């Protein structure tokens, strides 16, 4: 009895032996227009981003540790500088009142005291401005772009320079601001910080 009779509609198709299942042991070809699959028919996993987010479009990138540390540093420096500026401005008014109410100070002494008062006011305004600058960067550090990173590097450079000048005047407390200023520059200059602040540009 032959199973290969082409005229027999119930016979086994040609090219397949007895007991052999169609396609068994051979990879199935994907339909036209469907990309090839990898590994037991499952699609390949998407690439994992080194800065968080898992590589999926639209997923939020995790803020790097250095950027988080800089946000804390900016809050600390900003609040301290703003307080220093306010204290200097208030103290300048108190000094001016003391000068005006003291009959023992002559005209030359009043001129010197007026210069001192004016200097304190300028220092207070500068300190307040720097404090507001740092606080605004700390607020915008989560949603801001690369301009925040550049602004933070500039701010850290100015803090470092000012701390070095204060150290020359034997101000030991300037060591703290010197270290914080250097940390701002280092953390904002790292590659993961650059990727964090440019993440919105990379989505387009």
CA distances from 180 to 25, 70, 75, 81, 186 (A): 65, 9, 11, 13, 10
The reply to whether 191 falls in a domain is yes
- Containing structural domain, residue 133: 66-198
Round to whole Å and give the CA distance between 40 and 33: 19
Torsion, Cα of 77, 80, 85, 90 (10° steps): 180
Q: What is residue 143's three-state secondary structure?
A: coil
Angle at 86 between CA 80 and CA 91, to 5 degrees: 120
In a domain, 23, yes or no: no
Within-domain flag for 42: no
pLDDT higher than 60, residue 155: yes
List Cβ neighbours of 99 (8 Å cut-off, separation of 6 or more): 105, 110, 113, 114, 117
Reply yes or no on whether the pLDDT at 139 is more than 90.
Answer: yes
The verdict on residue 39 lying in a domain is no
Residue 18 belongs to some domain of the structure: no
Which segments of the chain does DSSP mark as H helices, in order? 65-101, 107-140, 146-168, 174-189, 191-197, 199-202
**Cα distances (angstroms) measured from residue 132 to each of 71, 85, 121, 187:** 14, 10, 16, 21
pLDDT in tens, 64-119: 999 999 999 999 999 999 999 999 888 887 777 766 666 666 566 566 677 778 88
Q: pLDDT tens digits, residue range 10-66?
A: 555 554 444 555 544 545 555 565 555 554 454 554 444 444 444 444 456 788 999
Q: Is residue 46 situated within a structural domain?
A: no
> In total, how many domains does the chain have?
1
Task: Check: pTM over 0.75? Answer yes or no.
Answer: no
Please report the pLDDT score of residue 101 as a whole number: 67
On whether residue 47 sits in a domain, the answer given is: no
In this prediction, residues 190-198 reach a mean pLDDT of 91
Q: Is residue 171 part of a domain?
A: yes
């Amino acid at each position: 009895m032959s199973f290969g009779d082409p005229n027999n509609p119930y016979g086994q198709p040609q090219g397949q032996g007895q007991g052999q299942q169609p396609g068994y042991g051979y990879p199935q070809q994907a339909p036209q227009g469907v990309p090839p699959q990898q590994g037991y028919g499952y699609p390949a996993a998407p690439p994992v981003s080194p800065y968080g987010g898992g590589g999926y479009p639209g997923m939020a990138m995790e803020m790097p540790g250095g950027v988080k540390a800089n946000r804390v540093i900016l809050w600390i420096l900003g609040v301290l500088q703003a307080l220093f500026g306010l204290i200097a401005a208030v103290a300048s008014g108190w000094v001016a009142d003391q000068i005006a109410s003291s009959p023992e100070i002559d005209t030359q002494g009043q001129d010197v005291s007026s210069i001192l008062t004016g200097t304190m006011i300028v220092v207070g305004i500068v300190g307040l401005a720097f404090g507001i600058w740092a606080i605004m960067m700390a607020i915008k550090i989560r949603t801001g772009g690369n301009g925040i990173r550049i602004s933070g590097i500039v701010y850290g450079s100015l803090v470092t320079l000012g701390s070095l000048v204060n150290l020359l005047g034997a101000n030991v407390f300037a060591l703290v601001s010197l270290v914080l200023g250097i940390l701002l520059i280092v953390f904002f200059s790292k590659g993961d910080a650059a990727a964090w602040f440019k993440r919105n540009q990379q989505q387009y």
